Amino acid sequence: MALKIHNPEFAHPSEAEFAHILDFYGVEWDYEPTSFPTQWDGDRVTEMFTPDFYLPQLDLYIELTTLKQSLVTRKNRKLRRLRELNPDINIRLLYRRDFHRLLAKYGFGPLANSETPVIDRVLIGTSQIAIRTAELGREISKDYRHKKPVLVGVLRGVFCFMADLMRQITVPMSVDFMSISHYGNEDSAVKITKDLDMELESRHVLMVEDIVDTGMTLNYLLDYLRAKNPASLEVCTLLDKRARRLTDNTLKYVGFEIADEFVVGYGLDYMEEYRNLPFIGILKPDEGDAANRAQNKSPK
Ligand code: IMP
Ligand code: MG
C-alpha cells in the first residue's frame, strides 16, 4: 500500500508518535482534516471541534487527549455535542493513560521509565485459563468437524495458549506459525519475519492470537491471510481488550474480554520478560521507584 508523505505540524509530540504507529501498521491517516461546528450564535459559528486524526480506511476520527483532567471534562462536553449533531460519526477519544498503555507494549512511556515494573495483581488465574481454554476447544471442535482446520499462531505471545488450546481440540487439525516485526524496531513498516510453512489455499484457517488490542496487528495479518484464498478465515483470541479497538474485525472465539490494562504472563511479555508466569497478571510501573527517581532528579 502506498503511504502518503506526511509532514504536518503536530501540536503535540504524542500526535507525532501516534502517526508513526499508524504508518508502521499501514493505516492511512489525515491530521486535523475536518472542523465540525458545535455551537452557533445565530449564523455565526462560535465553537468548533477539530479531531486530531481521521483514518479513512476505518472511517474513524481519533482525538488524543493528553491533557489535564479539568480540560478533558470540557473536551468531553464538546464531544457529546459533536455526537448529538452528527449521530453517524465514528470518533474515539484516547486519554493520556490509554496512550501510555499503547506505548507500553512497544517499550515506551512510564512503564519503560520505571526501573522495576511490578505485578500488581493476578487478573486471570491458571485454572480459570484452563477452564476457558477447554470450553473454546469444545466449541472449535464442534464448529470444525470434518473441516481439518489449520490453526495459525503469531509468535511469540501465543505459544502457551496455542499449546493448551490445540490439546483441547478433538478433530483432526494442523498448526502453523508466523511472526511479524514490532513497532519500535528499526523497520518503518510491519513485515513478516517468519512466514507460514503450509499452503492455506482452500483450507479452513483459524487464526489464534494471544491478545487483540487496537486490532492493527490483526487487521494486517487478516489481509495477508485472506490473500491466500482460504476456504474460511476466523479468529480465536485468548484476550480481547475491546475498549481499545480501532478496527472492526469480528472475533469468533474470545477467551476473556479484559479492561485496558497492560497484562503479562502465560506467553505475554513486556520487553521479552514475564512470559513464564503461569497466570495473567497486570504489570504496573513501581510507583515508589518512579517517585524516588523524580525526587532524586537534580535540577540542571
Ligand atoms: P494490536 O495491534 O494493538 O491489536 O496489538 C496486538 C499485539 O500487541 C499483541 O499481539 C501483543 O503482542 C501486544 N500487546 C497488546 N496488548 C498487550 C498487553 O497488555 N500485554 C502484552 N502484549 C500486548
Ligand atoms: Mg502478538
> What is d(CA 108, CA 118) in angstroms, rounded to the nearest whole number?
16
Phi, psi (deg, nearest 5) at residue 167: -80, -5
Q: What is the domain partition of the chain in residue ranges?
A: 13-107, 126-296
Contact 114, 105 (CB under 8 A): no
Q: Mutation test of ligand 1: which of 23, 207, 268 has the most ligand atoms closer than 8 Å to its C-beta?
A: 268
Q: Are 13-107 and 126-296 equal in CATH topology?
A: no
Residues with C-beta less than 6 Å from any ligand 1 atom: 105, 157, 210-218, 262-264, 268
> What is d(CA 157, CA 130) in angstroms, rounded to the nearest whole number?
17
Grid cell in block for residue 252: 469468533
- pLDDT in the model for residue 36: 93
- pLDDT in the model for residue 46: 92
Note down pLDDT in tens along the chain; length 300 residues: 334 445 678 888 888 888 988 888 888 999 999 999 999 999 999 989 999 999 998 899 999 887 666 777 888 888 899 999 999 999 988 887 778 777 777 777 777 777 778 888 999 999 999 999 999 999 999 999 999 999 999 999 999 999 999 999 999 999 999 999 877 767 778 889 999 999 999 999 999 999 999 898 999 999 999 999 999 999 999 999 987 788 888 899 999 999 988 999 999 999 889 999 999 999 887 766 555 555 544 433
Active-site residue identified among 23, 52, 213, 240:
213
> Which ligand minimizes its atom distance to the CA of 183?
1
> Which ligand minimizes its atom distance to the CA of 243?
1
Query: Which is it for strands 44-49 and 91-95: parallel, antiparallel or unpaired?
Result: unpaired
The residues that bridge with 122 in the sheet, in sequence order, are: 281
CATH, range 126-296: 3.40.50.2020
CATH 3.40.960 describes domain 13-107: yes
- 272 Ramachandran zone, left/alpha/beta (phi>0; psi -120 to 50): left
Spacing, Cα 34 to ligand 1 middle (Å): 30
Spacing, Cα 115 to ligand 1 middle (Å): 21
- 164 Ramachandran zone, left/alpha/beta (phi>0; psi -120 to 50): alpha
- pLDDT in the model for residue 300: 33
286: annotated active-site residue: no
Spacing, Cα 62 to ligand 1 middle (Å): 19
> What is d(CA 199, CA 243) in angstroms, rounded to the nearest whole number?
34
